[in-house]
Amino acid sequence: MKSRILHTADFHIGASKKIIVDYFERQNTMCNEILRIATKKEVNFILLCGDIFHLKTVQEVERLIFISFLVGAEHLGIPVFIINGQHDLLEGKGTSLDHIKKLIDGEHFKRHRIALLKPVLWNYRDLKILAVPHVRKREKSVAQILEDHGDVDILMAHECFRGSSTDTGWIADTSAYQPIPEEGYKYLAGGDIHKCQKIGKHGYYSGSPIQNEFGDGERRGVLWFDTETWDPKLCRLQGIKPLVTLDADHDFSDEEIPDAYIRLTKTKGKEITNKTLLERVVKVENKTVEFEPIKVTTSFDVMEGLPEMLGKLGLSNKQQMKAVDIVKKIAKDITA
Ligand SMILES: [Mn+2]
């Protein structure tokens, strides 16, 4: 049985809130875009490999962004298989995804599955999927956990594997990092490293779907593959403004300014007169520039745009209303 699969990770909902004015909307768009791609590519399920939330203090609206993503996927008939990353770990034994587990266990979501802190083996369609969530201290290596379970088709893990690298050129090259298991699986779906890359023979990091900070490369998206070729392709998200770094000492007077969140660097205090540029700057590296970047606001209603989004995805009015009701009910439950 051929399955089509979307692999993603490292949403980091709540990241970039200090620099991006409309970060809620941007990360909500990210979630909607992933559902759009999943629908277009007719995937059978989504692998979501950890670091859903950025901070331990997750705001309700941030929770709602993720819950509406799961509600959307549920209604589209697309299961999402989730593991936690290190950003999802709370002090003590909890995770920021415990409420999602409750919703799944309580059958509010009937399709999705979640593995928190402990490895779980899922059988789905004709596939064996071993989910290895992140833990603070690994007593057994990922390779040993895999060996305990025997051969699988897909290994999900949120881990920094040896040999992986970031956009800034950092490489995980010491023995402190986990070696990639050499065999016993057909596809390793990795989370943790934000740059999309191949690792080992059959391992892949999807990377984060969008840039979350300056320094993140612009080559981003989600991975899509099928179980005939196991050969993933990067699908880019649409409608996501990039984060771009510009040299403030450059003469911008005649230049087209990209529609982006802009960071200015290296200025010696030269006056900037290009209005479009000034409107788009959200961060200044060197304080000799004489203006304040745009202030961050935090008012955003996740319900706004949800029916339209569901409509665009092809849901009937009745289904849309049902989905909105579910999100409202959940919102009420978790803010109670
Ligand atoms: Mn991460």
Q: What distances in angstroms separate CA 47 from CA 122, 178, 234, one per listed residue?
A: 12, 21, 14
pLDDT at residue 299, rounded to an integer: 47
Residue 112 Cα to ligand 1 middle (Å): 21
Q: State which fold the 4-239+303-312 domain adopts.
A: Purple Acid Phosphatase; chain A, domain 2 (3.60.21)
For the chain, domain boundaries:
4-239+303-312, 243-284
The residues placing their C-beta within 5 Å of ligand 1, an ion, are: 10, 51
pLDDT at residue 303, rounded to an integer: 64
Residue 171 Cα to ligand 1 middle (Å): 15
Residue 206 Cα to ligand 1 middle (Å): 11
pLDDT at residue 91, rounded to an integer: 85
Residue 173 Cα to ligand 1 middle (Å): 18
pLDDT at residue 100, rounded to an integer: 96
Residue 157 Cα to ligand 1 middle (Å): 12
DSSP string, 127-191: EEEEEE---SS-SS-HHHHHHHH---SEEEEE--BTT-B-TTS-B--STTSBPPP-SS-SEEEEE
pLDDT at residue 297, rounded to an integer: 47
- What stretches in the chain show pLDDT beneath 50? 289-290, 296-300
pLDDT at residue 310, rounded to an integer: 74
pLDDT at residue 281, rounded to an integer: 87
Please state the pTM of the whole predicted model: 0.85
Residue 54 Cα to ligand 1 middle (Å): 8
pLDDT at residue 302, rounded to an integer: 59
pLDDT at residue 124, rounded to an integer: 98
